[in-house]
Amino acid sequence: QSVLTQPPSVSAAPGQKVTISCSGSSSNIGNNYVSWYQQLPGTAPKLLIYDNNKRPSGIPDRFSGSKSGTSATLGITGLQTGDEADYYCGTWDSSLSALVFGGGTKLTVL
């Protein structure tokens, strides 16, 4: 059972928008930066968002991140079939003294 809680799956049609939530506590999301990762089938995870809402070079602005209190959200607009992947949130947990991840959310673009 993961420290950070994500929905197991989300789905939306091409061109639409989807959000993925990541819920934690004051020992993790509430007091630390959140990052998001995209894992396409059979590949290594890739950094999408860091410091809650910043995009690394090369990540399109269709991807966005936000944080409020002890929850974070990844937003993806203009969905493409190539966005079908598993998405993970991550942060530092001060109580566990460890970097932690959410359980992952599988995005299906119908």
Residues forming contacts to another protein in the complex (CB under 8 A) are 2, 32-33, 35, 37, 43-47, 50-51, 56, 88, 90-92, 96-104
- For residues 32 and 71, which CB has a smaller minimum distance to another protein in the complex? 32
To another protein, the closest distance from the beta carbon of 24 in angstroms equals: 14
- For residues 56 and 60, which CB has a smaller minimum distance to another protein in the complex? 56
- DSSP assignment of 71-96: EEEEEE-S--GGG-EEEEEEEEETTT
Cβ atoms 85, 47 nearer than 8 A: no
- For residues 5 and 77, which CB has a smaller minimum distance to another protein in the complex? 5
Backbone angles phi, psi at 76, to 5 degrees: -130, 120
